[in-house]
Structure 1
């Protein structure tokens, strides 16, 4: 299950202070607690509070000087920061969800490829006995479909067979998809019933 991106503690303190400023709990020109007091309130180290205050200084919500403490300088900037932070958090969540879906798709693709590998492994034992047994068809130089994609030649529509793999140069590509090119010397691994095999054989000899 997807989870929200984790926010560093100092950023959570900064956004909380911005909310308090925007809500009017701290007024413009008013001094707020010192770092030690804020550290005690948020139950964090003074260094964590310092980093939070630095964020608010960078976006001109507060100003901090030695001897003067922390002074509220802009409620409007607090609102802008809250809005920007919310947008950034939404982007982080979307990015994290994207990576989650990519990983899930990779996992499903691997499962599909593993299933196809098993089908191919069983082919020598089950050849001609079941419709899921792949047959191999070599692409000859005089084949009229060389240089075209499986989609271009409407392979499935014309033969009833499904290409589950392409052997090329000693390598096997599984689930090649409709835009895979048909090249001279390729070996197409096709599944289908006996009628489909005959149609593929005739089709590849066109």
Structure 2
């Protein structure tokens, strides 16, 4: 009986293995007559044909022998033990395959979940970036600024920094939406919007 023949684990194969295990354990001794097929069918709750197939498996493996007119007898304990061990190896292999498939399936599910989380993170980051674009930064113009008394237009701030000045606070005066002619003076606090790096570029440009 080859491994391929018992991979399917048909019911009669399972019964054959149980009988082989009983023989290898000494429950049935070599030379002992086995129960009639009808009794085996009742014991295992199967049809007489299934019981016959189980016995036939063991006969083909020379674990049992049929004596015509007498019945079925145990022939080899060693072959019974080998068959039972072989069957257990196949079942172990099948179990490992099933566990591997479960692991791979879980990995696939985790990958899908990870992709969904990544998509949510990207969406959140994009949303935060969009909010940042409309959240003004502030920068104090001090006496070290190399562009004092120059206009926003002349400095071409947006070209150099990607930032848009939305207000200038000078003392108690606030100039909203200053045009290109607005002059930068020491002590001014400018409010500007831009991307995440706009603040760094503004500081580098106005506070080198």
TM-score, normalised via structure 1 length: 0.53
Gaps of 5+ in 1: 1-5, 131-193, 199-206
Displacement of 1:110 in angstroms is 0.6
2:55 equivalent in structure 1: 53
Aligned to 2:43: 41
Q: What residue number does 1:127 align with?
A: 129
**2:30 paired residue number:** 28
Residue 95 in structure 1 maps to residue 101 in structure 2: no
Name the counterpart of 1:9: 11
Unmatched 5+ residue regions in structure 2?
1-7, 133-195, 201-208
Paired residue for 1:64? 66
1:66-96 per-position Cα deviation (integer Å, ceiling 9, x unaligned): 5443222211101111221221121111111
Deviation at 1:120, TM superposition (A): 3.3
| 1:40 positional shift | 1.3
Count of residues in correspondence between the two structures: 128
CA RMSD of aligned residues (A): 2.8
**Secondary structure at the counterpart of residue 65 of structure 2:** strand
Displacement of 1:46: 1.0
In structure 2, what is the Cα distance between the partners aligned to 1:14 and 1:126?
68
Which structure has the bigger radius of gyration? 2
- TM-score normalized by the length of structure 2: 0.53
Instruction: Give, in angstroms, the shift of residue 52 of structure 1.
Output: 1.6
**Corresponding residue number in structure 2 for 1:152:** none
Query: For residue 162 of structure 2, what is the aligned residue in structure 1?
Result: none
Which residue is 2:169 aligned to? Answer: none
- Counterpart mapping for 1:127-146 below 5 A: 127=129
The offset of 1:126, in angstroms, is: 2.9
Q: 1:120 to 1:65 in 2, by over 3 A?
A: farther
